[in-house]
A and B are shown apart, each in its own frame.
Chain A
Amino acid sequence: MGFLGIQGGGGGGFWLPRAASTGAAPVDALFYFILAISVVFFALIVGLMIFFVVRYRRRAGQGPQPSPAHNTPLEITWSVIPLAIVIGIFAWGFKVFMDLATPPANAYEVQVTAQKWSWLYTYPNGHVDDVLHVPGDRPVKLVMTSEDVIHSYFVPAFRVKRDVVPGRYSTLWFEALEPGEYQVYCTEYCGTGHSDMLSKVVVHPPGGFEKWLEDASNLLNTLPPAEAGERLYRSRGCIQCHSMDGAAAIGPTFRGLVGSQRVMRSGTRLVADENYIRESILEPQAQIVAGFEPVMPTYKGRLKDEEITALIAFMKSLAGEKGEEQ
């Protein structure tokens, strides 16, 4: 089967990436079965085609030979055999799909919120993070919804994908086979940052997840404010639109922001002090800096006061050279 690019084990092959969940193996088996069927039929048709073209190519002084214009038994055969095969593929595909449709009752549940252009994971204790950390020794169920447009949650290594739709919840589950980091993509087109709407699943070895969750939930108390702010900057999606290095992206950079003069769309000028930053986080549409679009979602109810304070401390730590703002 080498020519089909099939590789056993979890290493990943020519066709499919590493298979890292309990649900991946049955999907892969079906994939390779269809691949084998396809190769056989393709070889048959193209082989015959090439054979006929060569064998019956036009030659001087030789016309077509008499042959029937139809043959009922032959035509029935080549209709019924493919029909039986595709019904088999259908049944197999449906069975695997249904086996993977229902999450086990003991699944660990994480809430997922999609927004342009980041994934936020909310753990049962209220902690929010931008990387999905999960225990490696039990199934995980994601309950997902979107704040704005439709997104889609895709983990290739787990062979799972589900649309994330505003106004409703969709679910997805998996059970990882071994600890490690796995890539997450958004696969429903959602605008400018669609291809950067990436995330990771970190599968912890037994016991590791609980320890991580405890540390992560406590960062405001254990870290200096600016450092905690930087964690929040990365984990709450700010980083998707606001750079640290002075380059304007979808939103203004955070470098040198605090204390700088800002020119608004309306033409007014104001100083970006703490209250302005706070307002911009909670009421993003209230003041839009000239040159940017009003696309930021509100963080009202999603960031606590001390978190905003930590973020402002982080921004202050990014103070740029005097005069380079604007």
Chain B
Amino acid sequence: MSQTTPHDPHLAHHFPDAGTQFEAGKLGMWIFLATEILLFGGLFCAYAVYRANHPEIFIYAHQFLDKVLGGINTAVLIVSSLTMAWAVRAAQLGHQRALVRLLAATIALGFVFLGIKYVEYEHKWKEGLLPGKRFTHQAAAPPAAAAPADPDPAPVAAAGDSSVIAPAARGPAGLASPSTASQEKAHKVPRNVQIFFGIYFSMTGLHAIHVIAGMITLLWILRRAARGEFGPRYFTPVDLAGLYWHLVDLIWIYLFPLLYLIH
């Protein structure tokens, strides 16, 4: 690589030249991104398993998500990816002011995304559209499961103390019993809607943590950029942070249709 100079201050002592160092950094980042995708991969797997087994939950529950806000957020992140890519280009070209402004814009868009996400979360919280045992949404909850402390809707027949129904003959906790199944049909509310929200909050929550981590990284990059550390000869950190930011966007681009646009 032509960037090599004997006294390059950014060249670590154990690399033979700056080109190798840049390539190593890039390879390392790509591998790290692969681990991030696999981290989300577990949740995508959980999503696939539950959606395949209980499609009705997903079709019913996704109505509670706000497609408009989700769509706006998707646009916000796509624009932020554009500003990020532009920032990398600015660093390569040595456009110092543009670099700082574009990084600031990317971070600002991150805040917009989180703000909209907050509005969505708050709405779910108020409606009781929460995962697992905290799920208290009235219209969606099967009547017998309204009390969150007792998620096992005991069939009426088994409620009497003198029941002759033996333990194993009774459906174990979590299996549908015939009486509640018929109630569900009447309300068109599938059982276990809380599973959808468990997955929704796990996926978007983990994604939001990644957005925050990306913003912190970009703030650090912004500080270094403001000090004029980057230029055509050294822009690796901007490049790598950009890769990370694109990954965070990309994951959202999968999350949006999987969670909001179900048919």
Asked if residues A126 and B166 are in contact (CB atoms below 8 Å), the reply is yes
Closest to B174 in A: A167
Q: In the bound complex, how far is the Cα of B159 from the Cα of A302, in angstroms? A: 10
Q: Which A276-308 residues sit within 8 Å CB-CB of chain B?
A: 282, 300-302, 304-305, 308
**Contact A122/B174 with A301-B159, A301-B160, A301-B161 known, Cβ cut-off 8 Å:** no
Residue from A146, A300, A305 in contact with B172 in the complex, judged by beta carbons closer than 8 Å: A146
- Which residues of chain B come closer than 8 Å to A260, judged between CB atoms? none
Closest to A168 in B: B175
Asked if residues B168 and A113 are in contact (CB atoms below 8 Å), the reply is yes
Sorting the interface of chain B by its residue count into under 10, 10 to 19, 20 to 34 or 35 or more gives: 10 to 19
Question: Considering residues A111, A126, A143, A301, which has the most beta carbons from chain B within 10 angstroms of its beta carbon?
Answer: A301
Asked if residues A301 and B158 are in contact (CB atoms below 8 Å), the reply is yes
Chain B nearest Cβ from A275, distance in angstroms:
13
- Which residues of chain B come closer than 8 Å to A301, judged between CB atoms? 154, 158-161, 163, 165, 167, 170
Asked if residues A145 and B161 are in contact (CB atoms below 8 Å), the reply is no
Q: In the bound complex, how far is the Cα of B163 from the Cα of A308, in angstroms? A: 12
Asked if residues B174 and A166 are in contact (CB atoms below 8 Å), the reply is yes
Residue from B167, B169, B175 in contact with A147 in the complex, judged by beta carbons closer than 8 Å: B167
Asked if residues A111 and B172 are in contact (CB atoms below 8 Å), the reply is no
Q: In the bound complex, how far is the Cα of B173 from the Cα of A168, in angstroms? A: 9
- Which residues of chain B come closer than 8 Å to A315, judged between CB atoms? none
Q: Say if the beta carbon of A128 comes within 8 Å of chain B.
A: yes
- Which residues of chain A come closer than 8 Å to B162, judged between CB atoms? 304-305
Asked if residues B164 and A120 are in contact (CB atoms below 8 Å), the reply is no
Q: Say if the beta carbon of A112 comes within 8 Å of chain B.
A: yes
- Which residues of chain B come closer than 8 Å to A112, judged between CB atoms? 168
Q: In the bound complex, how far is the Cα of B162 from the Cα of A143, in angstroms? A: 24
Closest to B155 in A: A301
Chain B nearest Cβ from A240, distance in angstroms:
15
- Which residues of chain B come closer than 8 Å to A147, judged between CB atoms? 167, 172-173
**Contact A120/B167 with A145-B172, A166-B173 known, Cβ cut-off 8 Å:** yes
Residue from A128, A167, A169, A305 in contact with B167 in the complex, judged by beta carbons closer than 8 Å: A128
Q: In the bound complex, how far is the Cα of B166 from the Cα of A87, in angstroms? A: 46
Q: Which B167-195 residues sit within 8 Å CB-CB of chain A?
A: 167-170, 172-175
Residue from B154, B160, B161, B166 in contact with A128 in the complex, judged by beta carbons closer than 8 Å: B166
Q: In the bound complex, how far is the Cα of B136 from the Cα of A44, in angstroms? A: 66
Asked if residues B168 and A145 are in contact (CB atoms below 8 Å), the reply is yes
Asked if residues B160 and A166 are in contact (CB atoms below 8 Å), the reply is no
Q: In the bound complex, how far is the Cα of B162 from the Cα of A308, in angstroms? A: 10
Asked if residues A111 and B169 are in contact (CB atoms below 8 Å), the reply is yes
Asked if residues A305 and B161 are in contact (CB atoms below 8 Å), the reply is yes
Chain B nearest Cβ from A320, distance in angstroms:
28
- Which residues of chain B come closer than 8 Å to A120, judged between CB atoms? 167-168
- Which residues of chain B come closer than 8 Å to A145, judged between CB atoms? 168, 172
Chain A nearest Cβ from B174, distance in angstroms:
4
- Which residues of chain A come closer than 8 Å to B170, judged between CB atoms? 301
Q: Which A207-255 residues sit within 8 Å CB-CB of chain B?
A: none
Chain B nearest Cβ from A112, distance in angstroms:
6
Q: In the bound complex, how far is the Cα of B99 from the Cα of A296, in angstroms? A: 64
Chain A nearest Cβ from B182, distance in angstroms:
20
Chain B nearest Cβ from A39, distance in angstroms:
41
Q: In the bound complex, how far is the Cα of B172 from the Cα of A126, in angstroms? A: 17
- Which residues of chain A come closer than 8 Å to B174, judged between CB atoms? 166-167
Q: In the bound complex, how far is the Cα of B175 from the Cα of A147, in angstroms? A: 12
Q: In the bound complex, how far is the Cα of B199 from the Cα of A142, in angstroms? A: 34
**Contact A167/B173 with A122-B166, A126-B166, A128-B167 known, Cβ cut-off 8 Å:** yes
Asked if residues B166 and A166 are in contact (CB atoms below 8 Å), the reply is no
- Which residues of chain A come closer than 8 Å to B165, judged between CB atoms? 301
Asked if residues B167 and A113 are in contact (CB atoms below 8 Å), the reply is yes
Ranked nearest first, the 6 interchain pairs of A and B with the lowest CB-CB distance are A111-B168, A167-B174, A122-B166, A113-B168, A301-B158, A145-B172
Beyond A147-B173, A300-B159, A301-B159, 4 additional contacts (C-beta under 8 Å) are A113-B167, A166-B172, A167-B173, A168-B175
15 residue pairs of the A-B complex, CB under 8 angstroms, read: A111-B169, A113-B168, A120-B168, A122-B166, A122-B167, A122-B168, A126-B166, A143-B168, A146-B172, A167-B174, A300-B159, A301-B159, A302-B167, A304-B163, A308-B161
